[in-house]
Amino acid sequence: MTDESEMSGVPAKRAPKPSPTHIGNHKLDAATLMMGYGFDPTLSEGSLKPPIFLTSTFVFENAAAGKRFFEGVTGKRPGGAEGLIYSRFNGPNQEILEDRLALWEDAEDALAFSSGMSAIATLLLTFVKPGDVVVHSGPLYAATETLIAKILGKFGVTWLDFPSGSTREEIDAVIAAAKAKGRVAMIYLESPANPTNALVDVEAVRAARDAAFSGDERPPIAIDNTFLGPLWAKPLAQGADVSVYSLTKYAGGHSDLVAGGLVGSKAVLDPVRMMRNTIGTICDPNTAWMLLRSLETLELRMSRAGENAAKVCEYLRSHAKVESVGYLGFLEDGSRQADIYRRHCTGAGSTFSLYLKGGEKEAFAFLDNLQIAHLAVSLGGTETLASAPAAMTHLSVPDERKQALGITDNLVRISIGVENAEDLIADFENALRAV
């Protein structure tokens, strides 16, 4: 006789035993909670680890329960689904993953997706309609720019951008211009930008948004936090509404899966969940399970990769064949970027830009002589990767824009992994000798 559901003849849901988040007043760290949070072994034969739930659908205890679950999932009744229905909507592995993802940014809610791009596409599709404007920082991940400009453009959505490092005044001006064009549906950020490494001042964007819009007009602020999150940057704390992740990168961390995530307020994520239910962009149970394993070592992996990157960058910056190193740990004291870094970040990450003296010939000689680092695009894995953006990821970017973004032929993008730092330095030293 405890709640409405028992009165309506719906058996009480077999809810997992709540996982502790505190011991007394002591709040447990996300790194600790990754080992068991949100999973109750007594619901799975005592299994210490969650099984992979390979099923397309879930059995209701009775018809009234089925009706009630559908009322929740379709939004007829607030509060969301009370039980599992069908695997396009959700499953046990994905639910545990979502609960754990939210912990890293102290967020109300999280959603898991089949890729970073399907997370971004589902998010944007939820909020835009014909005639709307998307305001974004630039540059963005290339596929995100394509999605906004070319794909949403087909449906009458337009966009305006400001450079990542913009000041409050510059952001204000772009928002004002966007308001003159149409309804602003979303402010979409990415920080740091690739490959410029320019950080976005999320606090300034939040202040600009709040000054320019009131009440329901207020567009949500989303930010792609793939490069520094969730360990080194937590942009929800600076006023973003949604943090966007390609979980393929640091969160997955072993270069063996593709997935995405959104972390943020329930108010913003509830309608995104409805969109995901409709179009089916959720990740599969096996990938969710692999991510649960990955998250257990997230802090260890990212910390080690970050320490390695600091040592490698220190070595590279003074090498005679190196022009410069674009690494967040080397921001000039007193600069505006250093001020944003101090307010927003707790670490410099492990992905950076190496500019060699010379051009494509030198960059290729360096890449072709690496023995530990692999020549591949992507980032955030346990292994070190290196690539040449001008010839690879950004090959189709027009020359003028390449110049503006510093995507020159002598640029090598490097993502440092968890190997021994001295071994990596030996590898780079040897490859530089061949340049």
Ligand X SMILES: *Cc1c(COP(=O)(O)O)cnc(C)c1O
Residue 350 CB contacts under 8 Å (≥ 6 apart), including other chains: 302, 305, 306, 308, 309, 380, 415, 416, 417
Q: Tell me which residue has its CB nearest to ligand X.
A: 116
What's the CA dihedral at 226, 270, 22, 38 to 10 degrees?
-80
Q: Which listed range, 62-70, 112-120, 169-177, 201-209, lies at the site for ligand X (CB under 6 A)?
A: 112-120
How many angstroms from the chain centroid is the CA of residue 149? 20
172 binds ligand X (CB under 6 A): no
389 binds ligand X (CB under 6 A): no
Q: Which listed range, 126-134, 243-251, 288-296, 322-330, lies at the site for ligand X (CB under 6 A)?
A: 243-251
Residue with structure tokens 């005044």?
A: 169
Q: Judged by CB, which is closer to ligand X: 33, or 222?
A: 222
Residue 217 CB contacts under 8 Å (≥ 6 apart), including other chains: 183
In this chain, which of 107, 110, 112, 117 binds ligand X, going by CB under 6 A?
Answer: 117
68 binds ligand X (CB under 6 A): no
141 binds ligand X (CB under 6 A): yes
3-state secondary structure 325-390: EECHHHCCCCCHHHHHHHHHECCCCCEEEEEECCCHHHHHHHHHCCCCCEECCCCCCCCCEEECCC
**Least distance from ligand X to the Cβ atom of residue 267, Å:** 24
- Decide: 283 and 252 in contact? Cβ < 8 Å: no
| Strand segments (E) across 62-215 | 109-113, 133-138, 158-163, 184-190
Q: Judged by CB, which is closer to ligand X: 143, or 207?
A: 143
In this chain, which of 87, 90, 93, 115 binds ligand X, going by CB under 6 A?
Answer: 115
In this chain, which of 82, 95, 132, 224 binds ligand X, going by CB under 6 A?
Answer: 224
Q: Which listed range, 20-28, 32-40, 67-75, 241-249, lies at the site for ligand X (CB under 6 A)?
A: 241-249
In this chain, which of 87, 248, 350, 387 binds ligand X, going by CB under 6 A?
Answer: 248
**Least distance from ligand X to the Cβ atom of residue 29, Å:** 26
Cα separation of 133 and 182, whole Å? 6
7: which 2 tokens?
């009165």
**Least distance from ligand X to the Cβ atom of residue 364, Å:** 23
**Least distance from ligand X to the Cβ atom of residue 378, Å:** 7
**Least distance from ligand X to the Cβ atom of residue 246, Å:** 3
Q: Judged by CB, which is closer to ligand X: 5, or 146?
A: 146
175 binds ligand X (CB under 6 A): no
401: which 2 tokens?
């824009």
In this chain, which of 50, 91, 116, 326 binds ligand X, going by CB under 6 A?
Answer: 116
226 binds ligand X (CB under 6 A): yes
Cα separation of 195 and 394, whole Å? 10
**Least distance from ligand X to the Cβ atom of residue 144, Å:** 6
Instruction: Report how many residues bind ligand X under the rule CB under 6 A.
Output: 13
304 to each of 100, 233, 297, 298, 310, how far by Cα in Å? 21, 16, 11, 10, 10
Cα separation of 68 and 72, whole Å? 6
Cα separation of 352 and 328, whole Å? 8
Beta-ladder partners of 26: 23
Q: Judged by CB, which is closer to ligand X: 209, or 249?
A: 249
Q: Judged by CB, which is closer to ligand X: 68, or 248?
A: 248
284 binds ligand X (CB under 6 A): no
Left (φ > 0), alpha (ψ -120 to 50) or beta: where does 192 sit? beta
Residues that bind ligand X (CB under 6 A): 115-117, 141, 190, 224, 226-227, 246, 248-249, 258, 260
